[in-house]
Structure 1
Amino acid sequence: VAGLLGLVADVTVTDWPDARHVPVSCGPFGFDENVLETAVLMQALAGEGPLHVVGICQGVMPALCATLLLAQNNQEGHVPASLSLLGGPVDAGRNPTRLDRMLAGPPEALEGLLEVVPPVFAGGGRRVFPRRRQMQAFALYLWRQGLSGAGLPLRMLLDEGSDPLRFPLARLCWDMMDIPAEFFLGNVEQVFRRRALATGGLAIAGHALDPAALTQTGLLTVEGERDDISAPGQTAAAHDLCTGLPEALRARLVIAGADHFALFYGQTMRTQVLPAIAGIMSRS
């Protein structure tokens, strides 16, 4: 965010409340709701001038899908001028990682990860993929990274963020929250099992998405050569799907030696990713 503020005057960050604090009466929040809410936010922000969207990791798919939804519904003036996608699974079947293979497995295995929010919280009774389960999974990932000599443990120790004293990477990595069960399961089903957008079978609220409808938005994809979460090729798949875009509105970046977290934190992000985002913004 600090880096983006060096490019533009205003940056809006999207995030959702912790599901344990959302009453069951507020209704479900699944894959479709995530995309629809993102599209509504894009419409609101685009009314204030050209909108440039950056989707990171799991935010890549809702950012892309919401943009497609606006484009094919002829929402002129509300479609983002540029869309930058950083390290996300547009097509998780390309160069699948350990995580991709695990999530594409039997759905019954994931049911055991879900819990019901205790009644002491506002969201009591809501089924969630709880924060503690996510922390366990991340701890295992961090342990494997350490054993293999990969970069994340060292990156957390030798923090090269813009403001490591106030916003240390070690704390940011552990900042998690309960996720609605229907969102977790829906995301796994659509993105990792069905690869619905990549195979032409993704519909949002009954509306089939057509990537070819995107014709005037600058598209940047950024990938890390050593990304073991969203491997090279998975994000760049967006270019193959969005066949209506001219080459002048496309940009692709694969960063040599970069892991997943280098794409949006630290020196690599500042010296390579931000200039690429600035480039697609200026061309759109």
Structure 2
Amino acid sequence: MMTKTLPGQPAGNGQGRIDARNLTVQYPSPHGPVKAVDSFNLMVEPGEFVCLLGPSGCGKSTILNVIAGFLRASSGSVQLDGEPIVGAGQERGVVFQRYVLFPWLNVLQNVEYGLKVRGVDKKTRQEKAREYLQLVGLAGFERKYPKQLSGGMQQRVGIARVLVNQPKVMLMDEPFGALDSQTRYMMQELTLQVSRKDGTTILFVTHDLDEALLLGDRICVITAYPGRVKEIITNPIAGPRTPDIVSRPEFVDTRRRIYEMLRDEIRLSFDQEAQKLGVQKMAG
């Protein structure tokens, strides 16, 4: 059975272990079933920050959607703290690349929305919402509406809206991909800060190698379509990590190693796309 949360209680109450075993996802097509993910295996420990890294179209977002409960696996299993995931649940919060906010609600109302749905009283939910808006640097913006905020500010509202429910697991699907580089760096530091504060398990999809090495305790490199685990690499630089790690020899060596893995998979991905379009592979 899926984990239940009583009204007014935080969704996260410790733990947050994700266990994906032989996860396979396939979609129908005019030419028969097509596998997006094939025999994917990953264990994420409570409080761990794991990045999924791979070429475009390798199934990273598909894996995240199965763990979120938005998509059913074709075979295999995914469990949270030993219980099968059979649908969406408050113990898993999702941050998307697009800023999925309610445009008719102001910032405070957006952040407190999940607590309101769970029956938390107005005073308590507004106090919690203000606490997390303070954490993401948006104190004073409570009465603003999403259209009045920059992209980075909207994404911070989205993160606060997830965190206020104190989920066991936060699932992040390339959340900073649409941001400019300076805002992106700030959001990365914020994500590290909040992960340390609450000890939330984070599974983070990215195609950015440097981002994966800054954020992830481990980096799961995924093959070209269909997505399988190519290798899981433990970050040689222990947390807390800061952007200046890029100059450290361990960073440079690990980055080179992962890049060589990714290069082969990206080339394969290019070849697969060419075959779909009926284009012959160029010599060399």
State the TM-score bracket (shorter-chain normalisation): under 0.3
More strand by share: 2
Task: Please report the TM-score for the alignment, with normalisation by the length of structure 1.
Answer: 0.28
Larger Rg: 2
